[in-house]
Amino acid sequence: MKLIQLTDIHLTTPGQTIGGRDPNANFEAALTHALSQHPDTEAIVITGDLSDWGDRADYERLRARIATLPVPVHLAIGNHDDRAIFLQVFPELADADGHVQSRFPLSRGTGLVIDTWGPRSHAGFFCAKRCAWLEQALTVADAPVFLFMHHNPVPTYIAPLDHIMLRDSDTFGAVIATHRQHIAHIFFGHCHLPLSGSLYGVPVSGSRGTNHAGWADFTERHMLLGSDLPQAYAVIVANGATVTVQMVEFGYRGERRIEGSPDYDAWNRTTMVR
């Protein structure tokens, strides 16, 4: 089973840029690259910050674009989004309590999207109603479960990022701990960095976004930092007992070169490029 995770696409008014990059063009480039390299993917999940300013026009363009794709697309919202405006365009994605949460079948298990959005905050939240929805969804879901969210549920140990991580991480973690035997992986965005770890033994990972990139500076105490690292998305392959997550830097524009054959007998000082 193969899935594509895009994150932090930050769609904007056409012509506007972020960090000198065009989020709309980069979203298109990510889709083109992912679907050409991975035509066997069975779904795309976009883990939040769909719009940079929560504008209705961004969501309308997103809806029109994903309707043309050959695979289903599942959406989470992030801190740059506006839940009320998003649900005006995607009303079918609201759960019974008005959160953007959904469950979808996969050829191997179940995908779950949860809502970590909160008003007037870049941090993530997970209230009692969202907790109850996740508890019930995990109880009935066919295992293995692949869980998608925007905010990181584990610390990065980079102070400004941890200030805006999932604040109700203990509440969220208690649900994960109860159902950890059925959860294969948790995927998030938000940090604009490649990250991996675990939560109560469940693997977690985050990918760089499709437009602007972050920078990990463990000495910075106050400001979020950006960089010119390449745009990226994640490829997820679940096969039997394994789950592999690879960050693909589709925005890389530098040289690619052959370094040699993987055949050990072909390794020598003459043929290996150094």
Q: Is residue 103 part of a domain?
A: yes
CB 10 within 8 A of CB 18: yes
What is the per-residue pLDDT for 92? Answer: 98
Is the model's pLDDT at 273 over the cut of 80?
no
Strand partners of residue 101: none
pLDDT of residue 270: 79
Task: Yes or no: say if 235 and 249 are a contact pair by the CB < 8 Å rule.
Answer: no
Identity of the amino acid at 140: V
Over the stretch 171-213, which tens digit does the pLDDT of each residue have? 999 999 999 999 999 999 999 999 999 999 999 999 999 999 9
| pLDDT surpassing 90 at residue 147 | yes
Classify residue 32: in a domain, yes or no: yes
- 272 part of a folded domain: no
Residue 261 is assigned to a structural domain of this protein? yes
Which CATH number characterizes residue 197's domain? 3.60.21.10
User: Looking at 6-15, 79-88, 180-189, 252-261, which range is the least confident one?
Assistant: 252-261
Residue 271 domain-assigned (yes or no)? no
Whether 273 is in a domain gets the answer: no
Q: Which residues pair with 202 in a beta bridge?
A: 199
The verdict on residue 153 lying in a domain is yes
Q: How far is CA 116 from CA 200, 209, 232, 258, in A?
A: 19, 18, 22, 43
| Mean pLDDT, rounded, for 42-62 | 98
> Is residue 201 in some structural domain?
yes
Q: Half-sphere exposure of 65 toward its Cβ, with a 13 Å CA cutoff?
A: 18
Q: Specify the range with the lowest mean pLDDT, choosing from 94-108, 161-175, 256-270.
A: 256-270
pTM of the model: 0.97
Give the domain range for residue 25. Answer: 2-266
pLDDT of 146 higher than 80 = yes
Predicted confidence at residue 269, as pLDDT, reads 81
State the pLDDT at residue 271. 78
Give the number of domains in the chain. Answer: 1
Task: Outline where DSSP puts E strands in the chain.
Answer: 2-6, 43-47, 73-76, 102-105, 110-113, 145-148, 183-188, 195-199, 202-206, 213-214, 226-227, 233-239, 242-248
